[in-house]
Amino acid sequence: MNKILQVVAIPAMGLCLAAPAARAGGLDGAQACLDARIAANEPIADCVKEAQASCLSFDAPSLAGTDCYRRAKDQWGELIAQRMEQIRASASEELSAIAAIEVKYDLRGNLMQCDRMEELSLVQKDPDDGTVYVRMRCEATAVGMAYAKLHYQSQQIR
């Protein structure tokens, strides 16, 4: 497996386990939302929030809510992997490498903020279901934001 694919494939592992209901409720509309926001020159971050809104229907913290965010994170990871495959198929090797580096560091930076938030919360209390729930919600949003940025920056590549 080439290094570019390795960088992007890791967040997408486990995607096959995603429940059909979660797919129908959220991320299928993310592409259309992103495209509409880009066309209207509006912020794209709300598309991630909207795509994950179905996870808020579960009690917080709850195992079901945590699992919903885990599946959303996996689905965002799969979208990143798919987009990177499209970029590799359509763009130059140099542009593909740049996109892989950008998404790799966007993911790392976003997930580092999740680490920070978790560590700060653990100063005040012992880990519990709430800690896991907040962590998974943060990770899902972090991966979703990395995808939104990749989608935005690579929109000219078809």
DSSP assigned state of 118: H
Is 112 exposed, middle or buried, given 0-12, 13-18 or 19+ CB atoms closer than 10 A? exposed
18: pLDDT strictly greater than 80: no
- Number of other CB atoms surrounding residue 149 within 10 Å: 17
Please state whether 91 falls in left (phi above 0), alpha (psi between -120 and 50) or beta. Answer: beta
Residue 112 makes CB contacts below 8 A (sequence gap 6+) with none
17: pLDDT strictly greater than 80: no
Range 97-113 average pLDDT = 98
* pLDDT band for position 7 (cuts 50, 70, 90): very low
* pLDDT band for position 28 (cuts 50, 70, 90): confident
* pLDDT band for position 46 (cuts 50, 70, 90): very high
pTM for this predicted structure: 0.81
Q: Are 146 and 80 in contact (CB under 8 A)?
A: yes
Q: Are 131 and 118 in contact (CB under 8 A)?
A: yes
pLDDT tens digit string along 128-142? 999 999 999 999 999
